Amino acid sequence: LQEAGLKRVNISLDSFNTDKFKYITGGGNLDDVMRGIEASIEAGLDPVKINMVPIKGINDDEIIDFAKKSITHGWNIRYIEYMPFADSSEDKKKLVAIDEIKNMIVNSLGNLEPCGVASGNGPAKYYKLDNSKGTVGFIGAMTHNFCSECNRFRLTADGRLMPCLLRDDEIDIKGPLRAGAGIEELEEVIKKAVAIKQEKHPESDEMDLKKRQMWQIGG
């Protein structure tokens, strides 16, 4: 992949515990992911970002373990707030807010110093712990609205452009592609998706949450 032009990679890793990882991912193999991280670093990909979604009562006891990896292994850790995709009060209780995550890290490992890293112009805010080679980043889609800075779209597993994960606005691009649409027609489809991107997503208590899970959305 590096020889083909790949320069950086994001890897999802929500637990260092084999059983927890299998539960969270629905059957994933932790060893495969760990080998993938090692191979990415050895290949010289930079940055290699490790995305962790803390889930209350499931893996939030590993938040500090992940932060320590930025010190011991130079990993670039990104904590991403859990986004409830089931319209239930129980699912909403799984959220661990970014401010809570930060406080846990500071109380255990010391101050977080802003480091100004903004690779990819994404929404994450990056910090460094003392004596760390890696970074610790935070993406708080639920409690820290960053919609005004968002330049992201998601291509779903079923071929739709999704301007926002927390809205139902989607534009079909698979249909035109299969119908033989040319570049200009596809550009118009993308422009339409850009045009419906809202200024911000609804507040958490006003969201009409999607019934499908992230693995069904893809991207």
Tokens of 192: 């339409």
Q: Which of 50-59, 65-74, 119-128, 156-165 has the lowest mean pLDDT?
A: 119-128
Does 60 score more than 60 pLDDT? yes
- Spelled out in words, what is the top-level CATH class assigned to the domain 9-139? alpha beta
Q: How far apart are CA 194 and CA 171, in angstroms?
A: 10
Q: Which of 45-54, 57-66, 83-92, 163-172 has the lowest mean pLDDT?
A: 83-92
Domain with CATH 3.20.20.70 in the chain: 9-139
Rounded mean pLDDT of 44-69?
A: 96
Radius of gyration of the chain (CA): 18
Pair 136, 201: CB distance under 8 Å: no
Q: Which residue has the tokens 């006003």?
A: 206
Nearest to 101 by CA among 59, 64, 76, 144: 64
Q: How far apart are CA 76 and CA 83, in angstroms?
A: 21
**Band of pLDDT at residue 166, cut at 50, 70 and 90:** confident
- Give the tens place of pLDDT for each residue, 95-123: 999 999 999 999 999 999 999 765 556 77
Q: How far apart are CA 8 and CA 25, in angstroms?
A: 23
Q: How far apart are CA 160 and CA 215, in angstroms?
A: 14
Give the global pTM: 0.79
Angle at the Cα of 185 from the Cα atoms of 181 and 190, rounded to 5 degrees: 115
Percentage of residues of the chain with pLDDT beyond 70:
88
Pair 172, 111: CB distance under 8 Å: no
Pair 67, 109: CB distance under 8 Å: yes
Q: How far apart are CA 174 and CA 159, in angstroms?
A: 5
Strand partners, 10: 49
Pair 122, 152: CB distance under 8 Å: yes
Nearest to 177 by CA among 166, 161, 162, 163: 161
Average pLDDT of the chain, as a whole number: 88
